[in-house]
Copies of this chain bind each other. A is one copy, B any other.
Amino acid sequence: MTAAFDLIALDADDTLWHNETLYSQAQEKLAGLLAPFLDGEQVVRELFETEMGNLAYFGYGIKGFALSMIETAVKVSGGRVGGSEIQQIVDLAKEMQQAPVHLLEHVEEVIPKLAASHSLMLITKGDLFDQQAKLARSELAPYFENVKVVAEKTLEMYRMLLEGSGIEPQRFLMVGNSLRSDILPVVRLGAHAIHIPYHLTWAHEVVSVEDWEEDGYVELEHIGLLPEFIQRLEQGG
């Protein structure tokens, strides 16, 4: 048995640990805070619009999200929001920064197993400070030889990563929950990708190695299936 991959890279947010739930809980708190001014659903809609408008200024991550929450509070209250509410939003951002990291099911067993036979890299989008803090709290750091925090996961980013480390695309595997960031650019480069959707609403029970060749990537129901799938691959299907 020879290793099929020189490098296996994994996404972090919503692939290794829960992330989206942290943001949706914060949204609910903001909606509660702004209930005197506007209906909760509309607060969430306003927040989303503000976030999208601010992406070019602030990028991804908790701090940019907090500034968008504050801007939303000023907007939906017509400037009448009080200092105490603003401070509560700042405090909410601090809580988010320090929130415990909840690993997804199977991650705790799967990552050490993969690390024993392969070189692992974490590739994550977002705020460097946030992501490093989360990795430290996750206790997964020792299993990753490299950690890469990037502004966006583009085809160009993956291409430079492979060129810079001298790895052939067909010897690279990326694993993540986002088709746009983790899968499609990787497949376009001729490298391999495994899609593990977050909050799966449907399930492929069986994945065959042949699917790989048809779509350029395969989909697994959960990360617990990853070691066996890689092992089957390396034993020739």
The digit string for A96-131, where 1 denotes a CB below 8 A from any CB of B, is: 011000000000000000000000000000011100
Main secondary structure of the interface of A (DSSP, over half): helix
Residues of chain B with a CB closer than 8 A to A80's CB: 83
Residues of chain B with a CB closer than 8 A to A73's CB: 83
Q: Are the C-beta atoms of B90 and A70 separated by less than 8 Å?
A: yes
Total count of chain A residues near the partner, CB < 8 A: 38
Q: Are the C-beta atoms of B151 and A57 separated by less than 8 Å?
A: no
A46 in the interface, Cβ–Cβ < 8 Å? no
A132 in the interface, Cβ–Cβ < 8 Å? yes
Residues of chain B with a CB closer than 8 A to A54's CB: 94
Closest to A164 in B: B146
The digit string for A56-92, where 1 denotes a CB below 8 A from any CB of B, is: 0111110110110011011001111111101100100
Interface of A toward B, CB cutoff 8 Å? 54, 57-61, 63-64, 66-67, 70-71, 73-74, 77-84, 86-87, 90, 93-94, 97-98, 127-129, 132, 146, 149-151, 164
8 additional A-B pairs beyond A58-B93, A60-B129, A71-B87, beta carbons within 8 Å, are A57-B93, A58-B94, A63-B64, A70-B70, A70-B90, A71-B90, A73-B83, A78-B83
